[in-house]
Amino acid sequence: MGTWWSEHPDLESLARRGRREFTEELAAAEHDTELLRRRRRSLVDVCFEWMSRGDLVTVTVAGTQFEGELIAVVNDLALLRTRTLEVGFNLGAVDFVRSNQRAAFTGTSGERTVSSFRALLGKFEIEELPARLVGRGKTFDLTGVIGASTEDHIIVVDDPGHEWLLPRNRIAYVIGPT
């Protein structure tokens, strides 16, 4: 036995039409909600999502492409592990980031040893490790030891002993020792 209105053809038709309209409106609202969510995400938000899911990504910066797994995305920093090295990116300098394959890796909530690109440069300074620093547009490609990391620049000493001042906002990426 059905509902009381199922015995009345006009009411049953009205109920079907009402259910269909409700389902269509619900689908449209869900679509609009997803669209708004996507529009509100920043570059960091999307990269963090890809890192969490374990996507294989390509990052292009200063005319160079790197492919691998995002292992940290926080503030203005993205760390990418390729097959042979780890690269720290100034997210304000990247040309693009692309997801090549969803869930290619196990995914992670991210490494938390550094919280920004500046902090990554400070880590190299403290550990006195040689670092390769590449500028936006490849205006410089320098390997040396960071002697000081300041609010707006870093001081790098290269192998011959030259002291370089590099504006931090002009550094596109950094690669540590492999």
The dihedral formed by the CA atoms of 16, 20, 25 and 27, expressed in degrees to the nearest 10: 140
**Tens-digit pLDDT profile for residues 124-136:** 999 999 999 999 9
Looking at residue 80, what is its pLDDT? 98
The per-residue pLDDT of the chain, averaged, comes to: 92
Question: 12-16, 60-64, 109-113, 114-118: which range is least confident on average?
Answer: 12-16
3-state secondary structure of 87: strand
Residues 6+ apart with CB under 8 A from 158: 142, 143, 144, 164
Taking every pair of Cα atoms in the chain, the longest distance, rounded to a whole number of angstroms, is 94
Q: Return the beta strands (E) in the chain as ranges.
A: 56-61, 64-74, 77-81, 86-90, 96-101, 130-135, 141-149, 153-158, 163-167, 171-175
Confidence of residue 1 (pLDDT cuts 50, 70, 90): very low
